[in-house]
């Protein structure tokens, strides 16, 4: 017998319209799972963590594979846009570079040809690499249901590991990002066990930008993964960094604060203490780099 048995049997259906999705979600309920690239889903099914009888492929729905940028309203990325599409889009590299950089850290090239932004968001893993970048660009989940469309800030979308605010009759259509603040700079730094595509032990994204209304003259947004039940921002640290002109000492203190706020749990990849220290070190490193590029 195989140590890891193959996939359980399932029926594969390709949705042609939103109505197909609503009808099937209503009819089949928990026996149906929505599918994009399948890179999370198939692993969970192989490991028997998920056993849906039906996979409903929603990649072909209108707009799901589109990237739409408008100067006034910002960026809308269809849920089925792959991570390779994101990491290689020249326009995005210029306007939302932290998203492209984060996409490039996920798994390997072959995986990123299938793995999607929507799947990364809906899987609701605390270690999702797209999450810190999506948080610093203040991403919103665009959700579609028979009642119409609604948008939900990502911070409210993730409820815990594997758990989201999606209603039973809803699906993720796109992720929307407002225009980044003028002059914004930033980056995503991921610590994994290897460079060959491992989940994050800690990941930190920082976006900094000029803001004359605060004593520091700068503002920073900081997003983290892997060190709490959901990806998160640290508003207390962000606020602390606005109070006076920035110095290396203040950045070190911000790193200590981030470490205190984080609440990792020990897992196969790292101890709690190591993760906490890495939150501090990575936060300090990305803040310094971002500060440098703003000066």
Ligand X SMILES: Cc1cc2nc3c(=O)[nH]c(=O)nc-3n(C[C@H](O)[C@H](O)[C@H](O)COP(=O)(O)OP(=O)(O)OC[C@H]3O[C@@H](n4cnc5c(N)ncnc54)[C@H](O)[C@@H]3O)c2cc1C
Interface positions with ligand X (CB under 6 A): 33-41, 43, 58, 79, 106-107, 111, 114-116, 118-120, 122-123, 128-129, 166, 171-172, 197, 199
Q: Among residues 115 and 258, whose Cβ is nearest to ligand X?
A: 115
CB 203 within 8 A of CB 98: no
Give the separation between CA 121 and CA 119, rounded to whole angstroms: 5
CA 177 to chain CA mean position, Å: 12
Least separation in angstroms between CB 199 and ligand X: 5
| Nearest to ligand X of 115, 189 (CB atom) | 115
Residue (82 or 290) nearer to ligand X, CB: 82
Q: How far is the CB of 288 from ligand X (least distance, A)?
A: 25
Q: At 163, is the secondary structure helix, strand, or coil? A: strand
Minimum distance between the CB of residue 203 and ligand X, rounded to whole angstroms? Answer: 8
Closest CA to 116 of 49, 73, 57, 48: 57
Which residues are CB-neighbours of 219 under 8 A, at least 6 positions away? 181, 208, 209, 211, 238, 241, 242
Nearer to ligand X, 107 or 229 (CB): 107
Helices 272-294 and 248-261: crossing angle, nearest 10°?
150
The nearest distance, CB 252 to ligand X, in angstroms, is 29
Q: Minimal distance in Å, beta carbon 123 to ligand X? A: 4
Q: How far is CA 10 from CA 31, 54, 66, 208, in A?
A: 10, 5, 29, 46
Rounded distance between C-alpha atoms, residue 215 and residue 46, angstroms: 54
Cβ proximity to ligand X, 38 vs 180, nearer residue: 38
Residue 128: CB minimum distance to ligand X, A: 4
Ranges of beta strands (E only) in the chain are: 11-14, 32-35, 54-57, 67-70, 74-78, 140-145, 148-153, 158-160, 163-164, 171-177, 185-191, 202-210, 218-225, 232-233
CB 225, min distance to ligand X, A: 8
The DSSP secondary structure of 2-37, one letter per residue, reads -SS--PPP-EEEE--SHHHHHHHHHHHGGGEEEESS
- Output 54 or 111, the one with its CB closest to ligand X: 111
In the complex, minimum distance from the CB of residue 28 to ligand X, in angstroms, rounded to a whole number: 13
Q: Is residue 155 classed as helix, strand or coil in its secondary structure?
A: helix
203/208 with CB nearer ligand X: 203
Residue closer to ligand X (CB basis): 205 or 218: 205
Q: In this chain, which residue has its C-beta nearest to ligand X?
A: 119
């Amino acid at each position: 017998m195989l140590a890891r048995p193959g996939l359980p049997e399932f029926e594969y259906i390709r949705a042609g319209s939103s109505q197909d999705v609503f009808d099937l979600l209503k009819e089949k309920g928990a026996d149906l799972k929505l599918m994009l690239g399948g890179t999370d889903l198939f692993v969970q099914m192989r490991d028997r963590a998920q056993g849906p009888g039906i996979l409903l492929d929603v990649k072909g729905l209108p707009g799901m594979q589109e990237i739409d940028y408008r100067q006034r309203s910002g960026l809308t990325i269809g849920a089925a846009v792959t991570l390779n599409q994101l990491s290689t889009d020249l326009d995005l590299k210029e306007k939302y570079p932290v998203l492209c950089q984060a996409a490039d850290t996920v798994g390997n090239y072959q995986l990123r040809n299938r793995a999607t932004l929507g799947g990364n968001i809906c899987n609701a893993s605390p270690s999702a690499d797209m999450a810190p970048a999506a948080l610093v660009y203040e991403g919103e989940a665009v959700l579609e249901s028979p009642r119409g469309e609604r948008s939900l800030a990502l911070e409210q979308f993730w409820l815990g590991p594997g758990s989201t605010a999606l209603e039973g009759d809803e699906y993720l259509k796109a992720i929307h990002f407002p225009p980044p603040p003028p002059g914004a700079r930033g980056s995503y730094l991921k610590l994994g066990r290897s460079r060959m595509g491992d989940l994050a032990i800690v990941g930190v994204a920082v976006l900094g930008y000029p803001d004359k209304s605060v004593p520091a003259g700068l503002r920073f947004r900081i997003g983290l993964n892997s060190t709490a039940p959901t990806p998160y921002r640290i508003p207390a640290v962000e606020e602390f960094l606005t109070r006076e002109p920035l110095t290396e000492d203040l950045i070190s203190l911000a790193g200590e604060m981030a470490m205190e706020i984080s609440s990792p749990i020990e897992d196969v990849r790292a101890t709690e203490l190591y993760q906490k220290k890495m939150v501090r070190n990575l936060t300090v490193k990305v803040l310094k780099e971002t500060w440098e590029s703003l000066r």
